[in-house]
Structure 1
Amino acid sequence: MRSGSADPLFVGVDVSTGQVRALCCGPDGTVHARAVAELPSPVRPQPGAAEQDARSWWPATVTALMRVTTSLGPRRKHIRALAITSTSGTVVAVDRRGRPLGPAVMYDDARARSEAATAAFAGRDRWARLGVRVGPTFGPGRIARLLSEHRGQEVFRVCHTADLLAWRLVGAPTALDWSHALRSGYDVLAGEWALEAFDALGADLGLLPTVLPPTTPVGAIGASAAARTGLPRGCEIRLGMTDGCTGQLAGGGTLPGSFVSVLGTTLVVKGISRTLIRDPGGPVYSHRLPDGHWMPGGASNTGGEALATWPAARRPVLDAAAQARGPASVVCYPLARTGERFPFAVPEARGFTTGIPDGEVDAYRAALEGVAFVERLAYDCLGGLGAPVNRVFTAGGGNRSEAWLRIRATVLGRPIEPVARAESAFGAAMLASVGSAHRGLPEATAAMVRTGPVIEPCAAEQAALEDRYGRFVAELAQRGWWSGSVRPEARSATGVG
């Protein structure tokens, strides 16, 4: 059933590193309006640094929201609720009026190495219990460093992107959801900030926000925000989740055993588990849904950018040729940058190809297979840690390639289900709908997410690709990048296949 004109509407706002995207949909997932506003690119004033002008977030959000509400016309009065999603762990110090006192420190800022080491040691028991790997970009260290840079100023709060924008929309400080707080050092098991880590760093816990579950209502649109955005007064603000999590929700993964591979510029694999998946020494980390289920997974540095060598206009022709050719003659790890995050964390990792491809089509096919091998290793890793994989959805730009979908299904040894829309803004709108149009996320998923035809593995290529996957894992092991116990022969035990 399509949304009627009087049905409630829900808005998701996604603040990425370069844009603010706003999307409005109905309770059945029909999108009625969308808009984009640009943000200034993050700056990197020194090695390891990543900053952005936090003062740009609100004007860009206002612009995107006003474009959406203007497009809706009179229907905007039916907007019932809004939720915000953003990058994980981006923080900024603000004054009592919510004005940034300096640039925001981005999620990938790695300058707080010594502070991170202090936090890792002080909270070692807690991190082990949570299965958290503390590195230089982990939140407590970055927050302590941020506060030290503002010593002598009247810092009222350390805000994340989501709660700073909620503050502007409501007109008063709000709580933060536990998803955005996770990488900043919030313990979702104990329901508290990592006290010992912040104490060891000399960081004032009183400057951190209260944390509540996603979908919790934290206020309503005030008069000032209504006038600037076109949102109706009284529209609820409900807590969202990080952009990786909302992308997963939009991809259909809300029930235990369901996983989503989002193949865009990079490859993100996340799923749902009934229990916390612990990987203290590795790259897997777990967010938590409001119903208590866990979301283990990670993000690889390889993905769609592995095809950057080939112009987008030529890829459909190359897809057809690669599909007709069959498995590549070489094994490729198509990493376009230095360093890998998941399914193994190796800062010095570089892409490789074993041998010389037999022409352009062979090289292209090897790159498609290489990303699929990383995806398979991610699922083997998750399965080996105790996260059963029963159903795999897929979303992102990679879905446009039928050849790639078939290769990925064959490498995984299972059907995969393409999803039409796995935008983070759409996932945020799904969160906004919970509590009014839908009782919970599984109900929202069933009503709002649409899947395409199931992609089955190619039986004729399965043996060859299984052999090449084994060679891929062996190459990683030879370089010392992969030392996990999960191997191709353990496939049936991991739930993949």
Structure 2
Amino acid sequence: MTYLGIDIGTSGVKALLLDRDGKPIGEATAKAVEPVRPHPGWSEQNPADWWNATLEAADKLARAHPAEMAAVRGIGLSGHMHGATLLDKNDQVLRPCILWNDGRSAAECTEMEAALPSLRDIAGNIAMPGFTAPKIAWVRKHEPEIYAKIAKVLLPKAYVRLLLTGEHVEEMSDAAGTLWLDVARRDWSDDLLRVTGLDRSHMPRLVEGSAPSAALKREFVDRWGMSGEVIVAGGAGDNAAAACGIGAIQPGEGFVSLGTSGVLFVSNDRFRPNTRGAVHAFCHAVPRTWHQMGVILSATDSLNWLARITGQDPAKLAGAAEAQFEGPGEEIFLPYLSGERTPHNNAGARGSFVGLSHSTDTAKLAQAVMEGVAFAFRDCKRVLNDAGTDLGRLIAVGGGSKSELWLKLIATNLDTEIAITDEGDFGGALGVARLGLCAAEGADPTEIMQNPAIRRVITPDASLADAYSRQYERYRALYPAIEEARR
């Protein structure tokens, strides 16, 4: 028996085969056409790009591992969250998908919260432009001819599921990011839907991430050389999928993700919102479990930006910063290049360098960028603590976790150990392959979602704690001062 995980990203799709013992057998990737930005702050993508990349990745696996693909019994799907894929009554796409990092609907967020004062209590989250519902409110106002034709609104992976199975189905972790879910009750909210003029008929059926959602269509069973019924699990949104990949499903377990954006993720045994701190409180991908996230929008993207404008390689910049590191310097960086979610909920926030001098060089700028991202994670921990959540040891994931200095800065500022796993893939594709196994075999997620082997642990540097606490207070004071000056 084997199990297939398909992770749908904006830049491409990854497919991973897993055996019954949880060992990866093979993987394949396919690129998607990059998102487009028709106007400043907009971000859109053609859903056909995800579908074509999904077929390409699965086809590659079938050619490279025909016997293992023939033995597939369960499939799990992961995808980038919040994207608004609008379908008509014939399941035809009405317009390009409005993606998670699209900021056009800030006014609609304010209008939604005014129309339903209990919105935050029900959804467990602030209305933010990244979520799905405000995007529909924007379409209702600015593209009424499109809005009038909407029969279903699907998230990206649910659209791929529709083409694979013919069924409209979504699971709890992704649905929680729409702003239409009653997150405590794990069900659609009629009140939240009504704010955008929709009802349950516009929504897919809900299942748990580890439960069966539908069966794979016969044409794909045949195309990939499979046999018998192949179950497609509910799956997970990208961050919940990553948590399943590293086994973070028990209370207090979590990870710090240093990707394009940054995520501080912790699993909970109950619903624990903190909307004042712009914490995301979502359902997890396994039953009776929730999770919280502090989200920063420009993590490695900040270092990539610095590399781009200085004409250097990001890894070399990080290495230069590590080579000259002696503790916090004069330079401070606010990593708000794309606005910020946690804790400020300000799509209009902008990045800043402060404390530059004649002695500032690119290595010091790189250090300041890495410290600024670490401080942003410290902001996230602060508001998670305000919600009554304590963090245990975190596992590092994402491309930025290759920098030991960056992990040291984050561990010191969070006062939390950060574990580095043995070499291997513990991302979304692995997590949802595990969910596919659970759905197909009826397996207990707590037995399947095991933690990976740990290679080493980065501990907080006590000798730097006081210096970074003082620097963090300067960092915190800069945001309101700079925002006031920009008005």
- TM-score normalised to the size of structure 2? 0.87
Check whether the contact 1:252–1:393 (CA below 8 A) recurs between aligned residues.
no
Residue 329 (structure 2) aligns with:
329
Output aligned runs, 1:317-396, within 5 Å: 317-322=319-324, 325-335=325-335, 337-346=337-346, 347-356=348-357, 358-396=360-398
In the TM superposition, residue 200 of structure 1 has moved relative to its aligned partner by 4.1
Q: Give the equivalent residue in structure 2 for 1:441.
A: 445
> Is 1:17–1:39's contact at 8 Å kept on the other side of the alignment?
yes
Aligned mates of 1:109, 1:257 — CA distance in 2: 31
Alignment equivalent of 2:430, drawn from 426, 429, 445: 426
Q: 1:85 aligns with which of 68, 78, 84?
A: 78
Counterpart residue number, 1:198: 193
3-state secondary structure, aligned to 2:366:
helix
2:456 paired residue among 453, 457, 460: 453
Q: Verify: 1:464 aligned to 2:467, yes or no.
A: yes
C-alpha contact 1:69 1:231 (8 A) present in aligned 2: no
**Partners of 1:358 and 1:145 in 2: CA distance:** 44
Residues 1:16 and 2:13 aligned together: no
User: In the alignment, is the contact (CA less than 8 A) between 1:288 and 1:295 conserved in 2?
Assistant: yes
Residue identity opposite 2:418 in structure 1: I
- Residue pairs, 1:305-320, within 5 angstroms: 305-308=301-304, 309=307, 310-312=312-314, 314-315=316-317, 317-320=319-322
**Contact (CA 8 Å) 2:269, 2:290: kept in 1 or not?**
yes
In the TM superposition, residue 145 of structure 1 has moved relative to its aligned partner by: 4.7
Equivalent residues of 1:66, 1:230 under 8 A apart = no
Secondary structure in 1 matching 2:368: helix
In the TM superposition, what are the counterparts of 1:294-313 in structure 2 within 5 Å? 294-308=290-304, 309=307, 310-312=312-314
Looking at structure 1, the residues matched to 318 and 405 of structure 2 have their Cα atoms a distance apart, in angstroms, of: 9
How do 1:270-289 residues align onto structure 2 when only pairs under 5 Å count? Answer: 270-289=265-284
Alignment map for 1:145-160 (pairs within 5 Å) = 145-146=138-139, 148-150=144-146, 153=149, 155-160=150-155
Compared with structure 1, are the counterparts of its residues 314 and 164 closer, same or farther at alpha carbon in structure 2 (3 Å cutoff)? Answer: closer
Change in Cα spacing, 1:129 to 1:100, as seen in structure 2 (3 Å) is closer
Indicate conservation of the 8 Å contact 2:274/2:383, yes or no.
Answer: no
Classify 1:135/1:367 alpha carbon distance in 2 versus 1 (closer, same or farther; 3 Å): closer
Which residue in the other structure is 2:18 paired with? 25
Asked whether the equivalents of residues 51 and 160 of structure 2 are also in contact (C-alpha less than 8 Å), the reply is: yes
C-alpha distance in structure 2 between counterparts of 1:410 and 1:151, whole Å: 49
Structure 1 length-normalised TM? 0.86
Distance in 2 between residues matched to 1:466 and 1:135, nearest whole Å: 30
CA distance in 2, matches of 1:111, 1:265: 20
Provide Cα deviations, 1:302-360, integer angstroms capped at 9, x if missing partner.
Answer: 311222324145246415413xx320322422526241122322322322233435444
Give a deviation string over 1:142-171, Cα, whole Å, max 9, x none: 235546332564x5422222222222222x
CA drift at 1:25: 2.0
Structure 2's unaligned 5+ residue stretches are none
Q: Is the 8 A contact 1:76 1:232 kept in 2?
A: no
Cα offset for 1:78?
A: 2.0
SS at match of 1:59: helix
Q: Identify which range, 27-36 or 436-445, moves more after superposition.
A: 436-445
Correspondent of 1:52 among 45, 53, 58: 45
The letter for the 2-side match of 1:387 is T
Cα deviation, 1:203-235, whole Å, max 9, x if unaligned, reads 343122122221220222221122334444412
Give the Cα–Cα distance (whole angstroms) in 2 for the partners of residues 229 and 91 of structure 1.
29
Change (3 A) 1:109 1:470: closer
Residue 64 of structure 1, CA deviation: 0.8
Q: Which residue of the partner structure matches residue 158 of structure 2? A: 163
1:273·1:388 contact (CA, 8 Å) conserved in 2? no
* Contact 1:144/1:203 (8 A) holds in 2: no
- Pairing 1:179–2:173 present: yes
Contact 2:331/2:365 (<8 A) preserved: no
Q: Is the 8 A contact 2:70 2:224 kept in 1?
A: no
Give the secondary structure class of the aligned counterpart of 2:276. coil
Name 1:261's counterpart in structure 2: 256
Per the alignment, do residues 351 and 149 of structure 1 end up closer, same or farther by CA in structure 2, a change over 3 Å counting?
farther
**Distance in structure 2 (CA, Å) of the matches to 1:174 and 1:470:** 48
Aligned-partner residue type, residue 450 of structure 1: A
Alpha-carbon contact 2:241-2:432 (below 8 Å) kept = yes
Query: Which residue does 2:289 correspond to in 1?
Result: 293
1:55 counterpart SS class? helix
Q: Which amino acid aligns with 1:87?
A: H
1:178-206 CA-partner distances (Å, limit 9, x unpaired): 22222321213234323234334433431
Q: In 2, distance between residues paired with 1:139 and 1:315?
A: 36
Larger deviation, residues 464-473 vs 283-292: 464-473
Q: Quote how far apart the aligned CAs of 1:261 are.
A: 0.3
How large is the Cα RMSD of the aligned pairs? 2.6
Summarize deviations over 1:396-454 as a string: whole Å, max 9, x none: 112211222223222222321123534222222222222456833332232x6333211
Alignment check: 8 A CA contact 2:294 2:342 kept: yes
1:80-125 Cα deviation digits (max 9, x unpaired) = 2111111212122334553323322323334445544443233321
Identity of aligned residues (%): 23
Deviations 1:350-407 (A, max 9, x none): 2223343544433333322222222222112211221111222211112211222223
Quick check: 2:124–2:183 contact (8 Å CA) kept in 1? Answer: no
Query: Do the aligned partners of residues 201 and 174 (structure 1) sit closer, same or farther apart at CA in structure 2, a change above 3 Å counting?
Result: closer
Q: 1:259, CA displacement in angstroms?
A: 2.0
Cα 1:115–1:335, aligned 2, differ >3 Å: closer, same or farther? closer
Q: What is the total number of aligned residue pairs between the two structures?
A: 469
In the TM superposition, residue 299 of structure 1 has moved relative to its aligned partner by: 1.8
Residue 400 (str. 1) matches residue 394 (str. 2): no
* CA 198–459 in structure 1, closer or farther in 2 if over 3 Å, else same: closer
* CA 334–441 in structure 1, closer or farther in 2 if over 3 Å, else same: farther
